[in-house]
Amino acid sequence: MENKKLLSVKHLSRFYGSLAAVNSISFHLNKGEVLGFLGPNGAGKSTTMQVITGNLAPSAGQIDICGFDLIDSAKQAKANIGYLPEQPPLYREFTVDEYLLFCAQLNRIEKSKQNFALTRAKERCGLTQVGHRLINNLSKGYQQRVGIAQAIIHSPEIVILDEPTVGLDPIQIKEIRTLIRELAQDHGVILSTHILPEVQMTCDRVQIINHGQLVYSDDINHLHQRMRSNSIILGLNNPPAETELKSLTFIDEVEVLSETRFRLSHALENSPAENIAQIAADKKWGLFEIRPEQKTLEQVFVELTSGEVIADEADTEKYNGASAA
């Protein structure tokens, strides 16, 4: 059965004067999935999130939320969205219970159902034991949980999380990732992030935005396929001449990495690893390493957002260092 489409965005643009923060992007979100919205800082992620949640008006395009047009039926459309912005909208002088009860009232939950909604949101976000505590006295991780709890307290169809793990420690990040996957069982989730492992660990589909335009949109499995490389690393204790390696079947290019290690390029669909292993054994080359190279997500990301082809991890680090400078 086809997944229920919760969100449809068509040719969305947002301009600031002549600057196109978002330029004619289209995508959709299905129930039960986590959609990763990935891009470098300043790419247009947060602007997109603010537009589809109704916090910014679009300059052009159409946004349909659970069958309601965001412009024509704003009230009904927004009722189906829960939103955690990059800076959680917390009142730190409130206790967790006071704040979430306030959020329940803002979302117009019937008074008779507010306590149930409060209890359920706390249970789902692991806040049951801290309801009486001031938000200001909670750790950053627990404050993020409170931010997510306010986003889901009215059981919206769509949950939008903008950079939910920024500033958290590794244990807190793992806990938030688990929570996001659990939310996807009952909602559609959009996760906006520039943290690459977040996408691999959490998302079903991935979209990459750069300079306000979508440069990639596909499911996570196809992204992993894109990470496949057309080269293998070969280690030989008794290597032959470079010309002999170049003459091997399916080998397009040989790059000498050291006296005993080589990078062999080949057609993507024809890995020669098995044949080379057999030849190395027959000719007693002293094979000690043979492995297909795989692009890191960082390399794919840099290639898509910069147009540069990054050869290996060392080059990725060099690129990142230059960008930081």
Q: Looking at residue 320, what is its pLDDT?
A: 39
Question: Same domain, yes or no, for 220 and 236?
Answer: no
pLDDT above 70 (res 319) = no
Q: Looking at residue 317, what is its pLDDT?
A: 38
Percent of residues, the chain, with pLDDT higher than 90:
56
DSSP string, 110-131: -HHHHHHHHHHHHHHTT-GGGT
Question: Same domain, yes or no, for 27 and 120?
Answer: no
pLDDT above 70 (res 155) = yes
**Listed residue (40, 130, 134, 52) closest to 85, CA to CA:** 52
Euclidean distance between CA atoms 229 and 125, whole angstroms: 40
Q: Looking at residue 312, what is its pLDDT?
A: 43
Give the pLDDT confidence of 172-199 residue by residue, as tens digits: 888 888 889 988 988 999 998 877 778 8
Number of domains making up the chain: 3
Question: Same domain, yes or no, for 134 and 172?
Answer: no
Query: How much is the pTM?
Result: 0.75
Euclidean distance between CA atoms 155 and 133, whole angstroms: 24
Give the pLDDT confidence of 203-259 residue by residue, as tens digits: 999 998 988 999 888 887 777 666 677 788 999 999 999 889 988 878 888 999 999
| Domain's final residue, options 224, 244, 277 | 224
Domain that holds residue 275: 228-294
Question: Same domain, yes or no, for 76 and 13?
Answer: yes
What's the token pair of residue 7?
């969100």
| Residue 184, domain CATH | 3.40.50.300
Question: Same domain, yes or no, for 181 and 43?
Answer: yes
Question: Same domain, yes or no, for 240 and 258?
Answer: yes
Question: Same domain, yes or no, for 55 and 184?
Answer: yes
Question: Same domain, yes or no, for 66 and 29?
Answer: yes
Residue that wins the pLDDT comparison between 68 and 228: 68
Question: Same domain, yes or no, for 68 and 171?
Answer: yes
Residue that wins the pLDDT comparison between 244 and 168: 244
| Residue 238, domain CATH | 3.30.70.100
The pLDDT-based confidence of 318 (bands split at 50, 70, 90) is very low
What's the token pair of residue 77?
């459309």
Euclidean distance between CA atoms 266 and 254, whole angstroms: 9
Backbone angles phi, psi at 79, to 5 degrees: -65, -20
Judge whether 70 lies within some domain: yes
Judge whether 262 lies within some domain: yes
Q: Looking at residue 311, what is its pLDDT?
A: 42
First to last CA, the chain: 50
Task: Residue 308: count other Cβ atoms within 10 Å of its Cβ.
Answer: 12
pLDDT above 90 (res 57) = yes
Give the pLDDT confidence of 275-309 residue by residue, as tens digits: 899 999 999 999 999 988 776 667 777 777 775 44
Summarize the confidence of residues 125-136 as an average pLDDT: 95
21-25, 149-153, 177-181, 297-301: lowest mean pLDDT where? 297-301
- Mean pLDDT (the chain) is 86
Q: Looking at residue 128, what is its pLDDT?
A: 94
Judge whether 310 lies within some domain: no
Q: Which of 39-43, 59-63, 299-303, 306-310 has the highest mean pLDDT?
A: 59-63
Residue that wins the pLDDT comparison between 171 and 138: 138
